[in-house]
Amino acid sequence: MAVKGYNESIRLATKLGDNNNKTFLESILKEEEEHVDWLETPLDQIGQI
């Protein structure tokens, strides 16, 4: 899953002290998590039918 990859990349950037890429990856991660939430809502509703 993309979220896992972004989290791993953020940890690596933090470890390497690469704050520019860390900040960039965090913004992408936030958007990706919003996409996941958006997709999970209708899937949960379908599961309740």
**Digit-coded pLDDT (tens) for 3-47:** 999 999 999 999 999 999 999 999 999 999 999 999 998 988 898
Q: What is the model's pLDDT at position 19?
A: 98
Q: How far apart are the first and last CA of the chain?
A: 27
Confirm if 45 and 15 have CB atoms less than 8 A apart. Answer: no
**Residue 25, C-beta contacts closer than 8 angstroms, at least 6 positions apart:** 6, 9, 10, 13
Q: What is the model's pLDDT at position 1?
A: 77
Q: What is the model's pLDDT at position 33?
A: 95
Confirm if 2 and 31 have CB atoms less than 8 A apart. Answer: no
Residue with the bigger pLDDT between 2 and 26: it is: 26
Regarding pTM above 0.85, the answer is no
Write the DSSP symbol of residue 17: T
